[in-house]
């Protein structure tokens, strides 16, 4: 019985490690009217990027949104292959009527992308989510104003 409990704990640890290492969460929600937000986390590999692309494209096809912010600020590493897949994701989203705003690219990630020759022409890149949202509001003709209390 003690041996069975030990085996069960080892299986739970293995499942937890698999979740942490291979399936870091990807958040996708509507952040404003007609704009989706998708935050990527952890290390991106080709298999995971394929799942991300499929999920984002499915949301794009099944919603009335015309913008998406893709936040890369919590991504540890992007190699040239993943960077190229991000460019392809952008082009595919454009073909289905969505504009993409990338934000939060870390300096080390940017350096590796430039060194690998990844070209982000015609792709809007914002420094952070705050600036990306300002761009969304600008494109939608929305102006945020302070409400004076008093």
Q: What's the whole-model pTM score?
A: 0.77
Give residue limits of the domains in the chain.
25-135
Whether 69 and 105 have beta carbons less than 8 Å apart is answered as no
Alpha-carbon distance of 36 to 98, in angstroms, equals 10
CB burial of residue 82 (10 Å; 0-12, 13-18, 19+)? buried
Give me the CATH code for the 25-135 domain, please. Answer: 3.30.750.24
Average pLDDT, the chain: 81
The 10s digit of each residue's pLDDT in 86-116 is 889 999 999 999 999 999 999 888 887 888 7
């Amino acid at each position: 019985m003690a041996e069975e409990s030990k085996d069960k704990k080892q299986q739970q640890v293995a499942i937890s490690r698999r979740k942490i290492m291979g399936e870091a969460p990807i958040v996708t929600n509507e952040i404003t009217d007609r704009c989706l937000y998708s935050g990527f986390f952890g290390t991106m590999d080709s298999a995971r990027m394929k799942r991300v692309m499929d999920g984002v494209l499915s949301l794009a096809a099944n919603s009335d949104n015309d913008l998406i912010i893709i936040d890369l600020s919590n991504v540890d590493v992007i190699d040239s292959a993943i960077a190229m897949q991000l460019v392809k994701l952008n082009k595919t989203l454009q073909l289905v009527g969505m504009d993409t705003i990338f934000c939060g690219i870390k300096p080390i990630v940017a350096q590796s992308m430039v060194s690998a020759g990844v070209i982000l022409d015609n792709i809007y890149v914002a420094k952070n989510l705050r600036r990306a949202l300002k761009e969304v509001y600008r494109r939608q003709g929305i102006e945020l104003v302070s409400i004076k209390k008093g």
